[in-house]
Structure 1
Amino acid sequence: MLLPALRRLLGLTLLPFALGANAAPTGGQPAEGAPLRAGQEVEDTLESKQRRAHALQLSPGDYVRGWLEGDGMRLVLTDAAGERLRVLGEGRDARQDFMFVAGDTPPYKLEVRAPRAGGYRLQIAEIVPRARQLMPAAELDSPRLRALQAELGRGGNSGAFWRELAQAGTPLIESAGVTPPLAGDELLVTFLWRGARDNVRLFGAPSGDHDELQRLAGSDVWFRSYRLPHSSRLGYKLAPDVPTLNAPATTRRRAILATAQRDPLNAHSFPAQPIDQYAGESILALPAAPPQRWTEVRPGVATGTLETLTLESRILGNTREVHFYRPAGYRPGAEGNALLVLFDAHAYLREVPTPTLLDNLIAAGAIPPTAAILLANPSREARGSELPPNPAFARFLAEELMPWAAAHGLAAPAERTVIAGSSYGGLAAAYAGLRHPELFGKVYSQSGSFWWSPGSGPGVTGEEPGWLMRQYATAERKPLAFLIEAGLFEASRNGQTGILESSRHLRDVLRAKGYPVRYKEYAAGHDYLHWRGTLGEGLVMLLGKGEGSAQ
């Protein structure tokens, strides 16, 4: 130890050593023969081929971090017998950082080996026992949750927090004090649940992927925050204590339906009066969410009629309900009449009040007198085989449905006939337009499943995604106009092509072919709560005479 002491006395520096920025403050050199502890360092010199061992007092599982400085110096971890366990530094750099976890056979030593004469400096920056190897507390975006976290850290509880939310309602919506700061059009939305045992998952947008909520500091507060555009509208449920099953992935995923229910602190639901807490969904509508202008019955507006008939198909070999809507005062064959053909009739009569929408639009002069054919599915299985591009179903539309409807007085020229639907229905509408533009001149897709390819389905990959885009790309241009819309929360996930990206792709293909295309994106998910609002606006774009109509 004489040489280092002499250097310090004379103020000489033989090596350009500097304390690392991430190292703990030095605790001084250990006493002769004492083990190195966290924050301590040793400084010494060695002759060529000389070794010096420094003892460590460790327990199994301890995490050790430190560094060695010295030109060419090597560092080896050895056991009590001096046997090499691990080379921590090979002498390639002037400073060598190292880290390791102690095994079950202490004591250990750090052995510095000199290939040539020189000085070295060795420091133990930190030793973290296994019991203190913990994840840091969650960094919370929400200022209200940060305040609650601090209160819990002082020994408080969540009672005042839940009383506050019972008064204000959920989700928690914040704009000020969010960390990091929000973008100009964003709000921080935090979904919350009180008192689950094992887990809580979010069912529905923003991601549509059954996101897990986190538990705050061992409290009864479960949360998940999202930065959402201030125009967002979405429906959601919360699912506490979803069972974990030894079952295929699809069965495990669907298990969320066993506990999914509306948010108990959100008074807004869709439909407005669900039969119990598990029915319907809770509504989040941020301040700039587009108004849904046409969905409510208006006083003084004449109501049309709805007739339900049964159609047996020879081509498909099945029977289904078909609903005919005729506006008040409807005159079959009158000049200017328009026609709407819409898939998934039960949803577009129940979740989407299509007759009311048409009553209001016609009464306001926003669209011409428009009859509607709402086509039901014979079964869930039939929907999955008929609505994705299916030549037999296209023949059914052209050869059976449309002539039959015309015989009942529901008909219009192709340029005033809109074929429309959502999800698989939007895909079916675009395919029907391609196959029969002489009947369907306007195609309206609400979140169409344009990712589809033969052999694919929910969770199943078939051929290359985007089959219908390739059909449009290679076919000659048809006399068609399009309105395509998609939700920002319908993006790709888990390696699956999303509705958002595939809708953009179809838009680009159609525009490249010269088709008139209106394209809309909304801060929404795959949800009738959203589609019920945009259906009326879309029909105005396609059939109305005002600015922005697709003529």
Structure 2
Amino acid sequence: MTPRDVLKPWALARAVFAAALVWVLTAAPASAVPMQRPDAVLSSADVGRALSGRLAAGQALQYTADLPVGHVVQGSFAGVDASLDLEDADGRHLRRLENPGGGGRDWMWVVPADPVRLVVRARAASTFRLTVTRVLAPAASPVVPVVDPVVPESPRLRALMRHLDRGGSTEPFWRGIRRQGTPLVEPLSATESLVTFLWRGARDNVRLFGGPSGDHAALHRLGESDLWWVSFRMADTARLSYRLAPDVPRIQGTPRDQRRVILATAQRDPFNPRVFPAFPPAPLDAFQGDSVLELPQAPPQPWIRRRPGVQSGVLLHERLTSKVLGNERDVWIYRPAGAAPRALLVWFDAHEYLTKVHVPTIIDNLLADGLIPPVAVVLVGNPSSQARARELPPNAAFTRFLAKEFMPWLQTRGLDLPAPRTVIGGSSYGGLAAAQAGLALPHRFGNVLSLSGSYWWSPDGEPSGWVMRQYAAAPKRDVRFYLDAGQYERSRAGTAGILETNRRLAGVLRDKGYDVTQVEHEAGHDYFHWQGSLGCGLVALLNPARAARGLVACRAEEGASR
């Protein structure tokens, strides 16, 4: 396989985005329906079928939505250089559903009463594939709004309640909120604050997506006013991203379906100007990106932004075909500037770690600070969201792919480093896959860097914690670990939580004699946190002597230990 693009260091800042947005589609599957007309109708008959086509540069194709009003549409879109937008009948933009090369993630939206259309636009000649996977019907019984009797702890809200009881309005309060921004933060002590998330004007309900509860917390309505709120006592070291979802529809489906349907209305906080990730020059609509909160004592993240004068490495994009898995995927290879690699990082979920988190920039800055040796990075993409859910949880086929295809392929590119200097890592399912690789292939991967690893996972029918049982039963491997999890990832509703299962895995590993660094932070399942913790993990694994002296950016919560 030959390289596609070698990017000079001076172009890296622009190239990280350009490379991340490359998504080369293979031939449409047998179920795909090639579109020949300039316009088409998208109806319930198209559910489950892939609508594919090819557009010239600047060309657009619209699908008028002929779908039941009030139903929730779930689907995915992938295009080499094409985007997917939701517009009204007059062409006014409503919502960006997918950016060019966005990775085929699922999206949801509620069919409105007024006509709408899906519009595919190609900024360069591009193939595309659009799939509506499901159309979820509303629940038989509608949501009945109730006046919530919960009394807020917030002094500001209590004062507002008294003002309303005297016949006042919420308008002066909202004028102040527009000036100061949200969330509302009221100090409780030198180390703790009361944080209140606010929404104005919902009809039936509001949910918090990404907050401290980790459970899509419901906001309370303040009397019969237009104000909805929910408050949390939070340590001043907290950092998180979040969205607010007004009027989440009730649907016919499983509890998991109902939980996921929050994505249909989740959007940024309109009173919070801070957006993650950055969208130059600005997001197209309220549904792009997340709002963010950083309390005053949150650890700094010194490596996440480009610095003037720091030399950039070289980024290379390739496609890797797997006979074992029967698919192909994007792979990006980063090589440090001015030095041969003395270590290797293999990292899963490439698209997110080139768009939401800028891994090449993090590595450039860590090298400039002298915190890690020259390291090459291999960012491994997912063929689709469905393939990710199938491949990253432990399975024999993916292990064979890593052993028989992926690592030999890297060897042909001069990236054959000893296991003690090779790190494999990722977040969520990526952390789980990294731990499994360390167990199955310790002669290849001598270090595991896991951010919020999904160690609750087990095959169907088995109790949670499959990977920790395998480590407990197997002879000790020569593998070192860095495990990071958030305080907001605790168990809920009787399910195993990421925080608890990370603690359990750390205990199993220590009992077996493994070298484990286990840290916890006031954060959730969140790229906004992971962009800082990735660098801390690399220093701990590749330069443990420096990590042992302490770094302000890598300060963990009290109780987390090595």
Give yes or no for the alignment of 1:244 onto 2:250.
yes
Contact 1:366/1:545 (CA < 8 Å) preserved in 2?
Answer: no
The Cα shift of 1:272 comes to 2.1
Instruction: Quote the Cα distance in structure 2 between the aligned partners of 1:449 and 1:251.
Output: 20
**Distance in 2, Cα, partners of 1:248 & 1:464:** 21
8 A Cα contact 1:194 1:220, kept in partner: yes
- Is residue 359 from structure 1 mapped to residue 364 from structure 2 by the alignment? yes
Distance 2:370 2:253 in 1: 55
Tell me the distance in 2 between the aligned counterparts of 1:511 and 1:382.
33
Cα displacement string for residues 380-403 of structure 1 (whole angstroms, at most 9, x for unaligned residues) = 111111111112211211221111
Name the aligned partner's letter for residue 158 of structure 1.
Answer: T
**Contact (CA 8 Å) 1:450, 1:466: kept in 2 or not?**
yes
| Equivalent residue for 1:318, pick from 317, 327, 330 | 327
**2:420 pairs with 1:415:** yes
Residue deviations 1:14-42 (CA, integer Å, cap 9, x gap): xxxxxxxxxxxxxxxxxxxxxxxxxxxxx
Helix, strand or coil for the counterpart of 1:145?
helix
SS at match of 1:211: coil
User: 2:312 matched to 1:299?
Assistant: no
- Structure 1 residue 407 displacement after superposition: 1.2
**Cα displacement (A) at 1:410:** 1.8
Corresponding letter in the other structure for 2:160: L
Map of 2:132 onto structure 1: none
Aligned with 2:378 (options 365, 373, 377): 373
Q: Which residue of structure 2 aligns with residue 474 of structure 1?
A: 473
Deviation at 1:136, TM superposition (A): 9.5
Residues 205, 526 of structure 1: 8 Å contact kept:
no
Task: Give runs of aligned pairs for residues 47-446 of structure 1, distance below 5 A.
Answer: 137-176=149-188, 185-273=191-279, 274-331=283-340, 337-446=342-451
| 3-state secondary structure, aligned to 2:456 | coil
SS at 1:548's partner residue?
A: helix
- Answer with 1 or 2: which has the greater Rg: 1
Q: Write the mapping of 1:460-539 to structure 2, written as runs, cut at 5 A.
A: 462-539=461-538
Query: Structure 1 residues 271, 135: closer, same or farther in 2, change over 3 A?
Result: closer
Residue deviations 1:208-267 (CA, integer Å, cap 9, x gap): 222111111111110000111111111111111112223333332222222111000001
> Cα gap change, 1:219/1:135 in structure 2, threshold over 3 Å: closer, same or farther?
closer
**In structure 2, do the counterparts of structure 1 residues 433 and 282 end up closer, same or farther at CA, with 3 Å as the change threshold?**
same
Q: What displacement does 1:188 show?
A: 0.4
TM-score by length of 2: 0.69
Whole-angstrom distance in 2 between the partners of 1:338 and 1:136: 57
- Residues in 2 aligned to 1:426 and 1:256: alpha-carbon distance in whole angstroms: 25
The aligned counterpart of 2:29 is none
Q: Any idea what SS the aligned residue of 1:212 has?
A: coil
Inter-partner Cα distance in structure 2 for 1:255 and 1:509: 36
CA distance in 2, matches of 1:256, 1:162: 25
Matches of 1:330 and 1:316, distance apart in 2: 34
Tell me the SS of whatever aligns to 2:518. Answer: strand
The one-letter code sitting in structure 2 at the alignment partner of 1:473 is A
Q: Give the direction of change, closer, same or farther, for the CA distance of 1:257–1:537 in structure 2 (3 Å limit).
A: same
For residue 18 of structure 1, what is the aligned residue in structure 2?
none
Contact conserved, 1:540 with 1:549, CA < 8 A, in 2? no
User: Aligned equivalents of 2:394 and 2:214: distance in 1?
Assistant: 25
Q: Give the Cα separation in 1 of the matches to 2:171 and 2:523.
A: 33
SS of 2:438's equivalent in the other structure is helix
User: What SS does the corresponding residue of 1:538 show, helix, strand or coil?
Assistant: helix
Structure 1 stretch 257-266 or stretch 538-547: which is displaced more? 538-547
Deviation per residue, 1:398-436 (Å, 9 max, x gap): 221111112111232111111000000000000000011
CA contact (8 A) 2:211 2:217 kept: no
- Which ranges in structure 1 are unaligned for 5 or more consecutive residues? 1-133, 177-181, 456-461
Query: What one-letter code is carried by the residue in structure 2 that aligns with 1:279?
Result: Q
Q: CA deviation at 1:315?
A: 1.7
Letter in 1 for 2:421: R
Q: Is the 8 A contact 2:449 2:483 kept in 1?
A: yes
1:433-468: CA deviation from partner (whole Å, max 9, x where unpaired):
00111110011100000000012xxxxxx3111011
Contact residue 371 and residue 546 of structure 2 kept, 8 A: no
- Partner residue, 1:10: none
Instruction: Check conservation: 1:490, 1:525, Cα contact below 8 A.
Output: yes
SS at match of 1:275: coil
- Read off the aligned partner of 2:278 and give its amino acid letter: A
Query: Take 2:480 and 2:537, find their aligned partners in 1: how far apart are those partners?
Result: 12
Structure 2: tracts of 5 or more residues without a match: 1-145, 550-561
Give how far 1:318 is off. 1.6
Q: How much has 1:205 moved relative to structure 2?
A: 2.3
Kindly, what percent of the aligned residue pairs are identical? 56
**Contact 1:481–1:515 (Cα < 8 Å) also in 2:** yes
Structure 1 residue 159, shift from structure 2 partner: 1.2
Q: CA deviation at 1:326?
A: 0.5
TM-superposed CA distance for 1:284, in Å, is 0.7
Q: Which amino acid aligns with 2:262?
A: I
How far off is 1:137 after superposition?
4.7
1:213 alignment partner AA: L
Residue type of the partner of 2:170?
S
| Superposition misfits of 4+ residues, deviation over 6 angstroms | none
Deviations 1:341-376 (A, max 9, x none): 001111111111000111111122110000011111
